[in-house]
Structure 1
């Protein structure tokens, strides 16, 4: 006996273009009986005219929708590809890219870092083999995957609704975190894209009406997406938990999976073949299969942290406040709305679409709790941020879509423009007072009171308007106005995080970042080689490796130096001073790490220093555990003392990314033998 679930129906206004009208579905206002009789459509001349009008209207509506999605794809592409190579590859990126380039060039290096993303390794190896290596090429495929992340929202329209899917696509296009991962030479962007594509495929297969041909097509798409997700990197394993939560929530007992024959031998073969071919670059790199276990090990290690737990909880909270204020405010309000809407059992039993929405909120909540768990675990890192960002984004999209859907008929704009203008003036005035406060080295109570006064006046203006008009209008106005303000803030955060890079104004997203000085180092090396040998990549050069820090560990070459010195054909790696070998074995060029430059074997060499890598996190601006004793009494005096010690520095970084002092940096020294 076939089991009927509450999710086997969909509203007729969300059928995608080209979908065939299924049994039990008909356009609003027209019954199925008037359209289908014994398998053949029966209609009068009047119904033909009405159908023609409806088809024309639907075509116009879908044309506008197509244009909006196309515009969002262009926006996403611009944010992800603009100045893609402005910032040098960091240590994580270089550890992913350098082994792929060596494999493509047929060269070797000692103790290479293990690649944790088989798919990214395979794709980059192929690209480097075809077009050579560059920062732009290394980051181009994740950027493409980041742009394509918008596409699953198109297929999720029957599930989310047209407006919600469109708003979610907009938020994904400008999201600071997703843009950062799309501009990162890593498999994280692949994981996000294939996870959302797999999720949309499961939604289409399990609970939305499909024809026989579309069912077969979506089975193949879902199997391929799931296979590529599995080999995309460590972040994929976090998404595996999310997909499991989706199945548990929407198909408990896997009744639909069994009834529709999902997970058949053909599906499993498609899944396995895709994973194997994706991990091995179409069997050209068999070592990619071993990288799958490496990605799982990296993910498991990130849960506990171990010796690599460098991101404190304060960093995770600061990233939410600094980068995602829109998701924090509208996402949490969206979750509150989803759970505060009361639904009685009788209505729930009579409306299967409402029941699907109730289960959807449970799934989003479980996803959010999973993201919170990853954030509170000691191994938290930037790759865990999408686990909390995406459910907040979907909840925020739901709330914003509702606000703008009700806005045209729920607000009397004649008086509302006056309210919005007055609130804007008050908020701008408060921002001026706030900037003046931050510019003061000592806490100025008068300026602080002025800023608070303007903020209170703005809130009081909204309350008085709500009492004079009605709370519903005030709620819609504040929601729409706030969403536009936070949208601009999200764009600003995106720009700060991805398109503005200065050594003295770090964003602190990653604990370490590569200084642009490394490019000057490489240019000088190539210039010296060209001057002395006639070939920019010919001169022999020795590069030191850092001494192993623990027992049983081996010295590894620095992946950043390895990547940027990749064109030096006569490059050799040696141990740092104190190891078994010493640098300066009559090589014309030597690069040493840090203070190892004082070794006596470098006599007769001339050196110059370059910054290689900087380590800094915004949590370093917060007060440490050992708080100095209070030297003043009273709340205002204590606030002034905190302002001078750390609060002003934190506010200056939040607003301008200014630091009280340049962050410390690891340095390397380029030594050139004299008398050449």
Structure 2
């Protein structure tokens, strides 16, 4: 029975691997080219994850993670002691800050490297999936919006998914080998995912356990038809494998691994607090959402930023079923994606990066469909062909087939990509014009507005968009009538794949770099403004002026109840190099101090008496997804743009006592 079950997966692997046989030549040169392609892809993925990693100030959530490591390195750092909820992120930041100092790049570097490792993790399944499909999966994980944007933030989501993939790979190895060494490694990877990476590992483990058993159950149902085996045998085998797992021998490994990793080999015993904070954050996520407006951010990121991926994944799943190439790994990925989407809906604590719970299995399913697009198939020739063509044959239906027109799908893909660019440009132009519509306008109001001569550009844009779509559909039908529907669908699919990757790159760059100072309601409900760096630079200028260039400047920061300034968030990170910075809870406690930082609030300003000169710094812009107007949606979705009047601004004021402003050293 065991041999039959192994044969089931082996046969399915061969069928999937052979799907791209036309692309795979069994020569040493092809192997060299394959690994050169992986090296190039890895360098590109690293470049995209590390370039301008410090271009945006660290967010409040990232600051709380980084401040734990910084307070461990610098005992006299200002602010309250914060505890990180990701032990591995804390460990990496502690190492980086000790060696190279505390800055945004070092705070995010570990997450970027984890994202790079996640992008290359499909190589672990190369023997099962085949060379072409494995590479396609790696390309998707390297270039899509969600994996790329998540790896550029200092939270544990990339670590969670990396160790999830490693755990799935090692559990699969143990299934076939039954070696104790594989059981140890599987336990270590599951422990790292659950207790060392981030709060998202706890609900994700529940999803994976349910997906694993659901995939076993579905395999058992299909066994009588596909394998001529009783389904009960497969269920019994799964139960037997579970019971045979050496739980007693690996029982102490999780505790030892957590103690060693969280405490940095017992050099920092206080690091164990990060494990407790991880568990507390995971439990609180059941009752407390990440969004101020109650939106499910992870699900919103999935639906709004990866719609093409969902389409490709559904297509890949359908092709797997149609071709009979479904393996247990594919069933597991489908169950994982479905249950992960339900978890994103039901678990309020899921953040935008936690959409990786679904994106990763979707990329695996989509990779099969994209691989099928690359296979060179015989082209249907719907015109009279000469009798001298050696590679043409007459089919039963009277149609001629030829392999000499392999280039047709690539020409169609280029045309499809051009059409997509034209349609996207037209759509973005209309989206920008729609954003100027009055807030709360109904569809009837908009139609009435189109008759206004001042809205001529909007009417023309809508007309051009509609005309472009109709022309694209007509061209598709004509090409399909000439080259055959199969070839036309292949070429169009390749064009959509390239468009998917390019839009993924653009979306990630928009979220992480280009618009990092503006909130989008998904990745950033609260975006740190450019003035935050200006405030920090101003403090260093004052230190040059009054403290001989050393960050020994003494100043007072008023922590307010509205959350603009807290003693364990963004402001603490901005003043991290000033050990003499002091936080107070009331403005009256700062009255008379030479240098004061307080929120831009009339009540706080009135509480500060004396002669002061102040400069206002915009600290944050806020935007909640629930406040998105219907006519803002197209521009926001396609370009990440919102009118500035949609934002709520939070500012602080740097107050200098008049004598300090005049150049007298602070007393």
State the alpha-carbon separation in 1 of the partners of residues 197 and 424 from structure 2.
Answer: 44
| 1:110 CA displacement | 5.8
d(CA) in 1 for partners of 2:575 and 2:236?
55
- Give the secondary-structure state (helix, strand or coil) at the position aligned to 2:61: helix
Does the aligned pair in 1 maintain the 2:80–2:568 contact within 8 Å? Answer: no
* Aligned equivalents of 1:87, 1:144: Cα separation in 2: 18
Separation (CA, whole Å) in 2 of partners of 1:61 and 1:414: 21
1:664 lines up with 2:615 in the alignment: no
Residue in 1 aligned with 2:301? 319
2:288 to 300, 305, 327: 305
**Cα gap change, 1:5 to 1:269, in 2 (>3 Å):** farther
Count of residues paired in the alignment: 585
Most deviating of 140-149 and 376-385: 376-385
**What do the CA deviations read for 1:64-84 (whole angstroms, capped 9, x no partner)?**
222121111111100100001
Change (3 A) 1:320 1:151: closer
Question: How much has 1:574 moved relative to structure 2?
Answer: 0.5
Distance in 1 of aligned mates of 2:252 and 2:483: 63
Contact 2:519 2:621 in 1 (8 A): no
Cα distance in 2, alignment partners of residues 8 and 418 from structure 1: 40
Q: How far, CA to CA, are the matches of 1:151 and 1:436 in structure 2?
A: 37
Question: Can you list the C-alpha shifts for 1:95-154, whole angstroms capped at 9, x where unaligned?
Answer: 000121011122365643332112211222232223321111111111111111133211
Q: Distance in 1 between matches of 2:411 and 2:71?
A: 64
Task: Find the aligned partners of 1:157 and 1:589 in 2 and give their Cα distance.
Answer: 61
- 1:561 equivalent among 571, 574, 578: 571
Q: Is the CA contact 2:207–2:340 (under 8 Å) kept in the aligned structure 1?
A: no
SS at match of 2:596: strand
Q: Specify the SS of the correspondent of 1:149.
A: helix
Q: Which moved more, 1:518-527 or 1:613-622?
A: 613-622
Q: 2: distance between equivalents of 1:599 and 1:446?
A: 54
**Matching of residue 335 in structure 1 with residue 332 in structure 2:** no
1:267 matched to 2:253:
no
Do structure 1's residue 142 and structure 2's residue 111 form an aligned pair? yes
- Alpha-carbon separation, structure 1, partners of 2:88 and 2:414: 52
* CA apart distance, 1:404: 0.9
Which residue is equivalent to 2:122? 153
* Contact 2:408–2:487, Cα closer than 8 Å, also in 1: no
Q: Over residues 357-380 of structure 1, what are the superposed CA-to-partner deviations in whole Å (9 max), with x where a residue is unaligned?
A: 353343223212222223323444
Instruction: Give secondary structure in 1 for the equivalent of 2:375.
Output: helix
Name 1:117's counterpart in structure 2: 86
TM-score (norm 2): 0.79
- What is residue 5 of structure 2 aligned with on the other side? 6
Equivalent pair of 1:542/1:572 in contact (CA under 8 Å): yes
The residue aligned with 1:514 is 528
Shift of 1:409: 7.2
Contact 1:8/1:206, CA 8 A, preserved across alignment: no
Taking structure 1 as reference, are residues 82 and 254 closer, same or farther at Cα in structure 2, changes over 3 Å only? farther
| 1:199 Cα offset (Å) | 1.4
Equivalences for residues 323-402 of structure 1 within 5 A: 323-339=305-321, 341=322, 357-377=326-346, 378-402=348-372
- Corresponding position of 2:547: 533
Candidates 360, 367, 374, aligned match of 1:404? 374
Q: Which of 163, 178, 187 lines up with 1:223 in the alignment?
A: 187
Q: 1:589 to 1:421 in 2, by over 3 A?
A: closer
Kept in 1: contact 2:566–2:572 (CA 8 A): no
Q: Distance in 2 between matches of 1:96 and 1:382?
A: 17
Q: Deviations over 1:444-478 (max 9, x none)?
A: 44542332222122122222333444322222122
Q: Secondary structure at the match of 1:144?
A: helix
Q: 1:379 to 1:253 in 2, by over 3 A?
A: farther
1:335 Cα offset (Å): 3.0
Distance 1:59 1:342 in 2: 30
